[in-house]
Amino acid sequence: MRLNSYIIYLAVMLSIAACKSVRNSSSSIKKPTNNSVKKKTPQKREFINGIEVTLGATTKTNHQSSSSATGFTKKIDEPFIGKSEKEKAHFLQLKYAVYVEVPTNKLKNIELLELIDKWWGTKYCIGGSTEKCIDCSAFTQILQREIFYTTLPRTSQEQFKESRRVELEDLQEGDLVFFGSGRSISHVGVYLQNNKFVHASTSQGVTITDLNDKYWKPRFVGGGRLRLF
């Protein structure tokens, strides 16, 4: 009996001693302190135009790229200067070939097309001579001066008197076409090609019309060409 009690006592003491040794060994492990760990802060580098980039991070910016670097723009733009003019001329030929109903290669007077395009749709008003509104004789006066370098009187009646008659089948680009009743002229336009003329219409403004139009055909008086003195 005494022997069993002694064995039990010895086992308890050994167990207590083992627990103390484990506790001491665990306490010997040092926990990291806040001071021992160095927090790495991301480095920032600043570039031109105020764009800030953080290494290891995704950066969003509202900056828009520009191609205005010296020498770069010129190398790209210069070859397109001549080409854009050709493209513009080709576009005008395509556009007005539809109105005149001729092949594009028939429309060779690009300056004339440019002027028509500039004034296209400008509304009609009696006595007007600006891009806000214009009447028929002011339009023919401007067109003849800027494209054919000729000077016309201000009114359609005066322009009729100052020009020599041209038959319908002999009309050429730049000739005048007059409308009215008898020798009383109330409207004037400029002949183009293929029976078409450009004019400042009271209803449509500056436009292109066919001489066979049901409104204009019965009012056609004749064609005119500036007299050579």
pTM listed for this prediction: 0.64
Write out the E strands in the chain: 44-46, 52-54, 163-166, 176-181, 184-191, 196-201, 205-210, 220-226
Considering the candidates 63, 90, 125, 136, report the single residue annotated as catalytic: 136
Tell the residue number behind the tokens 């004037």, with chain if given: 188
Enumerate residue ranges in the chain where pLDDT < 50. Answer: 21-22, 25-32, 36-38, 41-42, 44-81
Q: Is 199 a catalytic residue?
A: yes
pLDDT of 6-26, one tens digit each? 556 656 565 555 555 445 544
Report residue 188 as tokens.
Answer: 């004037």
**For residue 69, what are the CA distances in angstroms to 45, 74, 75, 87, 181?**
23, 9, 11, 27, 65
Q: Is 90 a catalytic residue?
A: no
Considering the candidates 19, 63, 133, 199, report the single residue annotated as catalytic: 199
Between CA 229 and CA 128 the distance in angstroms is 30
Contact partners, residue 43, CB within 8 Å, separation at least 6: 54, 55
Nearest to 146 by CA among 187, 115, 117: 115
State the fold for domain 81-226.
endopeptidase fold (from Nostoc punctiforme) (3.90.1720)
Considering the candidates 19, 63, 90, 187, report the single residue annotated as catalytic: 187
